[in-house]
Amino acid sequence: QVQLVESGGGLVQAGGSLRLSCAASGRTFSGGAVAWFRQTPGKEREIVASISRSGSTIFYADSVKGRSTISRDNAKNTLYLQINTLKPEDTAVYYCAASRASYTLDVRRYEYWGQGTQVTVSS
């Protein structure tokens, strides 16, 4: 089992930046891919960014590409997401997730989820 706890969300003005963190406990998450998803009311959860077990493969959704950085520190069992130039449309609950697969973009293959952290971007 892996327990995930997100932090770093909050209210920020458009154009600002946030750094989300996800601390893992229990079984180490270094054995698989990890990712950030986000969800707004009435919409499906969407992937924001993912990083493979080794860190060599990274994916960004088009909506955040060029202004976001995902990183993982396996020694600290922590996942990060830096988002710059925030937009009101980035407002969502952000979830971190861990998979036993070495790399995947399929939400169904992420077995472990955090409780989410709210990010609200004001215009």
Confidence of residue 102 (pLDDT cuts 50, 70, 90): very high
Mean pLDDT (the chain) is 94
Q: Which residues of 63-90 are buried (b: 16+ CB within 10 A; e: fewer)?
A: ebeeebebebebeebbbbbebeebeeeb
Could you report the per-residue pLDDT of 25-84, keeping only the tens digit for each?
Answer: 877 677 899 999 999 999 999 999 999 999 999 999 999 999 999 999 988 999 999 999
Q: What is the mean pLDDT of residues 88-95?
A: 98
Cβ(55)–Cβ(30) under 8 Å?
no
